[in-house]
Amino acid sequence: MTSSATPGLSRFNSADQPEAARLLQEVCGSRRWGATVAAGRPYDSLDALLGTSDAAMAALTADDLAEAMAGHPPIGRPRPGDPTSAREQSGVQDSLREELLELNLAYQDRHGHVFLICATGRTGDEMLAALKERIGNDADTEREIVRTELGKINRIRLARLVEEDPS
């Protein structure tokens, strides 16, 4: 089998267990997801890594999803000093932040967790529309939407992890 591993993927594959766990924790807050992805090393391609990530995401329990969601700041309020959440939420205009935060609080009251959406490439208006649409969902429907959105976020973050030049 021919390897298409990038230098970043090779570094991830060769990282010791504590470093791999740290890197994966930055991608997704679920320890179960991280353990599954780490156990699949070495990966011969980004596609193989993403496939394992997708399978691990599909297998997460409701508690695992809650653990993963706990690592995400509310839309409209990136975590201070966190360039990842700032980059991912860059489509949110200042004029929408207050409305997004207010609706996010209502969403949290209803669902027990922050509104989670893959913000990369979306405008603030698109995120606001999705929040308004999803706030009325039942718990099971919303959990599966969150699972899908987390999977998208994880794919973007994993690709960035293994494609970035660390120097």
What residues are annotated to the active site?
A: 72
CA atoms within 13 A on the CB side of 16: 1
CA atoms within 13 A on the CB side of 124: 16
Distance CA 140, CA 143 (A): 5
Distance CA 45, CA 132 (A): 38
Cβ(137)–Cβ(117) below 8 Å:
no
* Nearest partner of 145 among 65, 51, 64, judged by Cα: 65
Furthest CA-CA distance within the chain: 52
Peptide bond into 166 cis (omega under 30): no
